[in-house]
A and B are shown apart, each in its own frame.
Chain A
Amino acid sequence: MPNVIQYIIRRLILVVVLMWIVSMVTFAIFFLIPSATGTSPAVLFAGKAPTPDTVKSVEIKFGLKDSIPVQYAHFVEGIFVGRHFDNGADKSYCPPPCLGFSFVNNQPVWNEITSDLPVTLSLAAGASIMWLVSGTAIGVLSALKRRSFFDRAAMGLALAGVSLPIYFTGLVLLDLISYNWQILPNVHYVGFTDNPLSWARNMLLPWISLTFLYAALYARLTRAGMLETMSEDYIRTARAKGLSESRVITRHALRAALTPIVTIFGLDLGQLLGGAILTEYTFGLIGIGHLSIDAISRQDLPVIMGVTLFAAFFIVFANLVVDVLYAFVDPRVRYS
């Protein structure tokens, strides 16, 4: 077990290093390139017809005149101890973890992220359960009934699923189910704690769209994994021992086939939590993905920075969890 702990610590260090590099690269892209092209981010914050005076005071307040490394240092410092943005009487405080201060909405980026997070969480949680269950179930059935009509239909559908962009699937579903048949409401986020039923009814279309997209892949992978393991020797042995077919499938074949599924699931979930941009955009859900697109189109640099780091964190963290889990699940993996 100390091996495991060592391994985890090593991975954690790697996570920190990765996050550090991601943050530096992001910072460079958004602060170096605009300054090279000669636009000051302060202009945006300074209102619609800013005078040079206004721009100057905004630059002072947010320290935009400091050199890029100094700005970066302040940024990192803010994450741990918070930051004060002062310019004379104009004071703003950004408590830790301070990911910056939104130019446009005039509030800490962290607040924006946390207020949009429930939408993304709901989206990712519901959809991931749906696609995981349906994807693996279809995959197992397809593998067991290989070359049957069901198998062919399911794999055809799976191919269609990965070939259709979510915004198209989403729009078709919206048009038919919500607009023409009015079975489900026009997607509109309702807090889970406000009204769980309404929450689910509203999230159902985005969930289905995401499921159609992801379940396809999971079904294909499960099927392939099952077929592969079913031909392995130990399955034959298990059968020869006289184990029931259902036991062979669930205990042995499925288990082995699921290992890669777990890996991918962790990564997909990590990516989704960082913002399902297209899904949120298609359905008009204001989650992390929508926040990031808005921030980019308004050039709200601190928000872009914050969201990118936030999303990267989920991805890196999911990677870590997957690796560690994998190490537990699959004895062949060594912690080295």
Chain B
Amino acid sequence: MRRNRLVRYGTATAVLALLVAGCGSSSSGGNNATPKPKAADNVFNAGTTGIRNVSAKKGGTLNFIADGDCDYWDPARTYYGFCWDMQRLFSRGLMAYAAAPGDAGLNVVPDLATAQGSSPDGKNWTYHLKSGIKFEDGSPVTSKNIKYGIERVFAQSVINGGPTYVITFLCPGPINNSGGCDAYKGPYADTDPNHLGLSTIDTPDDNTIVFHLNKVVGDWNYIMALPASTPVPIAYDQSPKGGAHYTDHPYSTGPYKFDTYTAGKSLTLVRNPMWSSGNDPFRKALPDKIVFTVDANDDDIDQRIFTNIADVNIAGTGVQPTAQTKILTNPTLKARADNPVTGATRYLAIESKVAPFDNVHCRRAVQYAVSKVDWQTARGGPIGGGQVATSMLNPTVKGYTQFDAYPDNNGNGDVAKAKQELAACGKPNGFTTHLASQNSGKGTRVATAVQAALKRVGINAIIDLGNAATYYSQFIGAPAVNRSKGRGLMVAGWGADWPTGYGFFSSLIDGRKILPQGNSNYSETNDPKINQMIDQAVATTDANKAGQIWGEVDKQLMTVDATLVPMTWDKALVINSQNVTNAYILSSLLGIYDFQALGHV
């Protein structure tokens, strides 16, 4: 129960996937209206499509709980899905995900900006700020604060941990081999006395900000919905309390601000009097206070939610087996629970540079030999674990088409076909390879499930377990190490940072993004056709067309390359205490409840 705290998706490299179902840019124009709340019946899974216990009652204290603290509270450094959701309580960026259940929540809406960012060419993006936005100390927020906040991401030696897309697209010079930007090193090493030296962002006046990207990026509005587009007070961040310590007290622009915070233990958020609901498109700000406590004991967390001592398990990774049994066997409890698809795809990466997997037939043999049902059971079954995946893209994705390149006896594997492929590969009696996984409960179970399934066709997989904390960054993130250790198979999970195909596939299978360290293309897939399709999709501003291309990428990957074996699409069984009102699942952030909307009865 304890070790699970290291297995949260957040710990996985680049977080969460969630592909847009409604098309992203279709929400163009200045439609700021909050979607009308749709009340949900009190039935199982109601919170994924409607709002549970609709209420406008203000006041009370909500008790949040989780088995671990956020990686960082600094908006530029956090990379955990639930922490991005928490950011919605106290930081406002240019854009934000719409506050709505279901597919509507996958769209971005302007938050500090007056309207969706507009761009004539997909490279130069302009935003205007709403007036009257203030920091928690009452000082006004200007476009310079937003520019400064984005500049901080460039200071990777201080502000590390978070997504780095803004570096890739806003670096004034070339991107170096390791994905860094040599031309601009962030506001702490800035030659500009005002610490606003990044030449690719203009702030012609206090209410306008213009981004000059180095290539066409159709998804820019999504990138501006990442937490790092939130304004940061320059003088404060340059003081000893800022920089690496900004995470201890990030300045609020939202309805709540930091009151007390003890790292790894607890956080208390209180109302921010400088916030006004008038210029906020959706935030409800119902409770007077939010207290977040860390509790390492996952079973205890479930117990506390059941007994209404704690209200929301914000980690959102689903209840423990004990609580799952309780919920599923008790109709009253079950009616209160939700079972969202979280958007992450769990898969097995086949290292195509490790023999014999350089032969596509050996890769296909694995595609047929694995038992997706055993994997699903190992992860907690169809409700607690996920649903059997037939392709890498999530079914919620625009452009996703249902197809199964390797039909396999309802997920149990097709041993005969696998043996045929093995013979075609020249290894009729199988072979020995290494299988990497995390040394956590589920990581171990999943690995042994794969091992047992492969043994049926004579493939002997030796399990290499890596530390959960460094699994993605160190253990399987260095292709040279994987090759030298003969790691042909790697257990992995993946989700994109914002809900479009770009975030999902680009680092995963783009052959030009195979990095010597911190690599995410574990399979070393380098298919010219896929690379070309990726470029085409990124430059496509029409989301529908882009979606179609991503669907084609998926097919090409599955049938021709066969380097990734999709196993399950994650699902989580979640439940709140009976004190919670206005609960619904925000699909864009790992399928967790939208924290800003919650109230107390």
Instruction: Spell out A's residues near B (CB within 8 Å).
Output: 39, 43-44, 46-58, 61, 87-92, 104-107, 112, 115, 179, 186-188, 281, 283-286, 290, 297-299
How close is B444's CB to chain A, nearest CB, in angstroms? Answer: 13
User: Residue B333 at the A interface, CB < 8 A?
Assistant: no
B160, A88: Cβ atoms closer than 8 Å: no
- Complex Cα gap A298–B265 (Å): 18
Considering the complex, give the chain A residue whose CB is closest to the CB of B12. A48
- Complex Cα gap A285–B294 (Å): 12
B467, A299: Cβ atoms closer than 8 Å: yes
Q: List 21 A-B contacts (CB under 8 A).
A: A44-B474, A46-B160, A48-B13, A48-B14, A48-B161, A49-B13, A49-B518, A52-B178, A54-B157, A54-B160, A55-B517, A88-B158, A90-B244, A104-B469, A105-B264, A106-B247, A107-B263, A187-B300, A284-B296, A297-B6, A299-B470
How close is A13's CB to chain B, nearest CB, in angstroms? Answer: 37
- Give the contacting residue for A90; candidates B14, B188, B295, B304; CB below 8 A: B188
A47 and B263 in contact, given A52-B517, A90-B188, A91-B240 (Cβ under 8 angstroms):
no
How close is A113's CB to chain B, nearest CB, in angstroms? Answer: 12
A297, B3: Cβ atoms closer than 8 Å: yes
B189, A88: Cβ atoms closer than 8 Å: yes
- List the A side residues contacting B161 at CB < 8 Å: 47-48
- Complex Cα gap A248–B317 (Å): 64
User: Which B427-470 residues sit within 8 Å CB-CB of chain A?
Assistant: 439, 467-470
User: Residue B122 at the A interface, CB < 8 A?
Assistant: no
A49 and B3 in contact, given A90-B157, A186-B297, A298-B469 (Cβ under 8 angstroms):
no
B297, A283: Cβ atoms closer than 8 Å: yes
- List the B side residues contacting A50 at CB < 8 Å: 160, 473, 517-518
- Complex Cα gap A115–B244 (Å): 21
User: Residue B243 at the A interface, CB < 8 A?
Assistant: yes
A44 and B469 in contact, given A51-B518, A53-B157, A88-B189 (Cβ under 8 angstroms):
yes
A297, B468: Cβ atoms closer than 8 Å: yes
B473, A186: Cβ atoms closer than 8 Å: no
User: Residue B368 at the A interface, CB < 8 A?
Assistant: no
- List the B side residues contacting A286 at CB < 8 Å: 296
A88, B1: Cβ atoms closer than 8 Å: no
- List the A side residues contacting B468 at CB < 8 Å: 297
Considering the complex, give the chain B residue whose CB is closest to the CB of A58. B157
B6, A105: Cβ atoms closer than 8 Å: no
- List the B side residues contacting A56 at CB < 8 Å: 157
- Give the contacting residue for B1; candidates A52, A92, A284, A297; CB below 8 A: A284
A284, B297: Cβ atoms closer than 8 Å: yes
A49, B189: Cβ atoms closer than 8 Å: no
- Complex Cα gap A298–B14 (Å): 18
A92, B244: Cβ atoms closer than 8 Å: yes
- Complex Cα gap A324–B11 (Å): 49
Considering the complex, give the chain A residue whose CB is closest to the CB of B518. A49
- List the B side residues contacting A61 at CB < 8 Å: 157
Nearest 9 pairs of A and B residues by beta carbon: A284-B297, A57-B157, A89-B188, A49-B518, A298-B469, A47-B161, A47-B160, A90-B158, A51-B178
Considering the complex, give the chain A residue whose CB is closest to the CB of B299. A186
- List the A side residues contacting B243 at CB < 8 Å: 89-91
User: Residue B566 at the A interface, CB < 8 A?
Assistant: no
- List the B side residues contacting A44 at CB < 8 Å: 469-470, 473-474
User: Residue B2 at the A interface, CB < 8 A?
Assistant: yes
B240, A48: Cβ atoms closer than 8 Å: no
- Complex Cα gap A106–B3 (Å): 21
Considering the complex, give the chain B residue whose CB is closest to the CB of A53. B180
Considering the complex, give the chain A residue whose CB is closest to the CB of B322. A179
Tell me if B's interface is mostly helix, strand, loop or mixed.
loop
- Complex Cα gap A55–B517 (Å): 11
User: Residue B208 at the A interface, CB < 8 A?
Assistant: no
- Complex Cα gap A87–B157 (Å): 8
A188, B295: Cβ atoms closer than 8 Å: yes
User: Residue B357 at the A interface, CB < 8 A?
Assistant: no
How close is B2's CB to chain A, nearest CB, in angstroms? Answer: 6
A43, B473: Cβ atoms closer than 8 Å: yes
User: Residue B472 at the A interface, CB < 8 A?
Assistant: yes
User: Residue B303 at the A interface, CB < 8 A?
Assistant: yes
- List the A side residues contacting B240 at CB < 8 Å: 91
User: Which B80-129 residues sit within 8 Å CB-CB of chain A?
Assistant: none
- Complex Cα gap A186–B467 (Å): 29
- Complex Cα gap A221–B561 (Å): 69
How close is A106's CB to chain B, nearest CB, in angstroms? Answer: 7
- List the A side residues contacting B295 at CB < 8 Å: 188, 284
Known A-B contacts: A48-B79, A112-B264, A290-B2. Give 6 more (CB < 8 A): A46-B473, A49-B515, A51-B178, A89-B189, A105-B69, A284-B297
User: Residue B410 at the A interface, CB < 8 A?
Assistant: no
- List the A side residues contacting B329 at CB < 8 Å: none
A49, B14: Cβ atoms closer than 8 Å: yes
User: Residue B409 at the A interface, CB < 8 A?
Assistant: no
- Complex Cα gap A46–B517 (Å): 12
- List the B side residues contacting A49 at CB < 8 Å: 13-14, 164, 472-473, 477, 515, 518, 520
A188 and B300 in contact, given A48-B472, A49-B477 (Cβ under 8 angstroms):
yes
- Complex Cα gap A46–B265 (Å): 22
- List the A side residues contacting B247 at CB < 8 Å: 106
- List the A side residues contacting B469 at CB < 8 Å: 44, 104, 297-299
How close is A204's CB to chain B, nearest CB, in angstroms? Answer: 15
- List the A side residues contacting B79 at CB < 8 Å: 47-48
Considering the complex, give the chain B residue whose CB is closest to the CB of A284. B297
Q: Which of B1, B263, B296, B439 has the most CB of A within 10 A?
A: B296
- Complex Cα gap A105–B295 (Å): 16
User: Residue B156 at the A interface, CB < 8 A?
Assistant: yes
- Complex Cα gap A106–B245 (Å): 9
How close is A176's CB to chain B, nearest CB, in angstroms? Answer: 14
User: Residue B29 at the A interface, CB < 8 A?
Assistant: no
- Complex Cα gap A243–B380 (Å): 69
Considering the complex, give the chain A residue whose CB is closest to the CB of B238. A89
- List the A side residues contacting B297 at CB < 8 Å: 186-188, 283-284
* B60-77 contact mask (Cβ, 8 Å, vs A): 1 or 0: 000000000100000001
How close is B178's CB to chain A, nearest CB, in angstroms? Answer: 4
- Give the contacting residue for A115; candidates B188, B189, B238, B262; CB below 8 A: B262
Considering the complex, give the chain A residue whose CB is closest to the CB of B167. A51
- List the B side residues contacting A87 at CB < 8 Å: 157-158
User: Residue B179 at the A interface, CB < 8 A?
Assistant: yes
- Complex Cα gap A161–B470 (Å): 39
- Complex Cα gap A61–B470 (Å): 20
- List the B side residues contacting A47 at CB < 8 Å: 77, 79, 160-162, 473
- List the A side residues contacting B179 at CB < 8 Å: 51
- List the A side residues contacting B265 at CB < 8 Å: 115
- Complex Cα gap A140–B300 (Å): 39
Considering the complex, give the chain A residue whose CB is closest to the CB of B158. A90
- Complex Cα gap A283–B3 (Å): 12
- List the A side residues contacting B322 at CB < 8 Å: 179
How close is A318's CB to chain B, nearest CB, in angstroms? Answer: 27
Considering the complex, give the chain B residue whose CB is closest to the CB of A89. B188
- List the A side residues contacting B300 at CB < 8 Å: 186-188, 284
How close is A50's CB to chain B, nearest CB, in angstroms? Answer: 5
How close is A278's CB to chain B, nearest CB, in angstroms? Answer: 12
A106, B244: Cβ atoms closer than 8 Å: yes
A88 and B157 in contact, given A49-B518, A51-B179, A186-B303 (Cβ under 8 angstroms):
yes
- Complex Cα gap A297–B520 (Å): 22
- Give the contacting residue for A48; candidates B298, B299, B473; CB below 8 A: B473
User: Which B246-280 residues sit within 8 Å CB-CB of chain A?
Assistant: 247, 262-265
User: Which B180-204 residues sit within 8 Å CB-CB of chain A?
Assistant: 180, 188-189
How close is B479's CB to chain A, nearest CB, in angstroms? Answer: 14
How close is B504's CB to chain A, nearest CB, in angstroms? Answer: 16
- Give the contacting residue for B156; candidates A53, A92, A104; CB below 8 A: A53
B2, A281: Cβ atoms closer than 8 Å: yes
- Complex Cα gap A56–B14 (Å): 21
- Complex Cα gap A105–B263 (Å): 7
How close is B173's CB to chain A, nearest CB, in angstroms? Answer: 14
Considering the complex, give the chain A residue whose CB is closest to the CB of B520. A49
